[in-house]
Amino acid sequence: MAIHSHVDAGVEEIVRVLRGYRVLTRARLADAVDAAEWPQGMFEDALRRAVEQGRVRRLSDELLEIGPSEPQ
């Protein structure tokens, strides 16, 4: 359960940052959320979940935007 809570918190942080920028590269998003300080694998897990939930949309392998389910 705790892992899901940490991943969910990561999703919220990713979405919060993308709301401000709208579109970012994966590397820039990782920098913006300070993913280097997150537990190993958590950024990837949170990003995957955010995409699965429609909160983040992949434009390419490296380019991401705020998802259609998020307020514009």
One DSSP character per residue, 10-22 reads: HHHHHHHHHHHHS
pLDDT value for 72: 66
- Residue 61 in domain: yes
CA atoms within 13 A on the CB side of 37: 5
Question: 48 is in which domain, residue-wise?
Answer: 2-66
Whether residue 31 is contained in a domain is answered as yes
Predicted confidence at residue 1, as pLDDT, reads 46
Could you tell me if residue 72 is inside a domain? no
Name the nearest CA neighbour of 48 among 17, 1, 18, 14. 14
Predicted local distance difference test score (pLDDT) of residue 15: 97
What residues form DSSP beta bridges with 24? Answer: 64
Consecutive 10-residue averages of pLDDT for the chain (72 residues): 79 97 97 97 97 97 93 73
How much is the pTM? 0.91
Does 16 map to a domain? yes
Domains held by the chain: number: 1
Q: In whole angstroms, what is the distance from residue 13 CA to residue 51 CA?
A: 13
pLDDT, residue 71, reads 80
Question: Length of the chain in residues, anyone?
Answer: 72
